[in-house]
Chain A
Amino acid sequence: SQKIEQNSEALNIQEGKTATLTCNYTNYSPAYLQWYRQDPGRGPVFLLLIRENEKEKRKERLKVTFDTTLKQSLFHITASQPADSATYLCAHRAGSNDYKLSFGAGTTVTVRA
């Protein structure tokens, strides 16, 4: 079965730097890959979605890439701020008729001022 893995449990970076998070999948290429942010004590909040035929998606200081050859998605936070400190989760759906949304374990980002 499909496994989705986020390699780093935690990432500590200096304010102003770029944070790069990794999401790998093991088998088939998911048709859609999503990224969420979760703050302590709250539910995940959707950030970005990227389709398998898209190489890159941007939203303000966020950028997501999708490399089907490497079976990997990268999530970048540019010009990071302490307010970006949170846990970031990737999630996938296998296909256009698949409602099941499965999540990776998440990477906790801490941005130091």
Chain B
Amino acid sequence: DAGVIQSPRHEVTEMGQEVTLRCKPISGHNSLFWYRQTMMRGLELLIYFNNNVPIDDSGMPEDRFSAKMPNASFSTLKIQPSEPRDSAVYFCASGEGGANTEAFFGQGTRLTVV
């Protein structure tokens, strides 16, 4: 397996534009996580899915953020409209499910909103 695949790797957009980040989890994994990482706040959990169903979205900062998982092999994180303070590295991770299992991270998407 190629691991968790995220696209794009880098995204530069203007304030107010819509941004969509994409993630392909490892085949067979039941859990999917979206994280945001900044120097100030570290690695923050935004939302996680289990069997394609959103379980906890309490980490989503505002209504401008939304995430979907239409099937087991694809998830998106959308920011609309984007703001400069959304600039960060966004990671997607997947896991087999269960508390004693690890998370496998993608390479991340570095988002810059100017």
Interface residues of A (CB under 8 A from B): 31-32, 34, 41-46, 49, 51, 89, 91, 93, 95-106
CB distance from A96 to the nearest CB of B (A): 5
Complex contacts, B100 vs chain A, CB 8 Å: 32, 49, 51, 96
Tell whether, in the assembled complex, residue A101 and residue B33 are in contact, meaning their CB atoms are under 8 Å apart.
yes
Complex contacts, B102 vs chain A, CB 8 Å: 34, 46, 49
Interface of A is mostly: loop
Complex contacts, A46 vs chain B, CB 8 Å: 102-104
CB distance from B101 to the nearest CB of A (A): 8
Q: Closest chain B residue to A102 by CB distance?
A: B45
* CA distance in complex: A81, B58 (Å): 40
Q: A43-B91, A43-B93, A43-B108 are in contact. Are A100 and B103 (CB under 8 A)?
A: no
Complex contacts, B55 vs chain A, CB 8 Å: 99-100
Beyond A42-B107, A46-B103, 5 extra complex contacts between A and B, CB < 8 Å: A32-B100, A99-B56, A99-B95, A101-B45, A103-B45
Question: Top 6 closest A-B pairs, CB basis?
Answer: A43-B105, A46-B102, A105-B42, A103-B43, A93-B99, A96-B99
Number of cross-chain contacts by CB at 8 Å: 62
Tell whether, in the assembled complex, residue B43 and residue A89 are in contact, meaning their CB atoms are under 8 Å apart.
yes
Interface string of B75-114 (1 = CB under 8 A from A): 0000000000000000101010111101111111000000
* CA distance in complex: A97, B93 (Å): 18
Q: Closest chain A residue to B55 by CB distance?
A: A99
CB distance from B41 to the nearest CB of A (A): 8
> Which chain B residues in 31-86 approach chain A with CB under 8 Å?
31, 33, 35, 42-43, 45, 48, 50, 55-56
Of A95, A101, A106, chain B has the most CB atoms within 10 Å of the CB of: A101
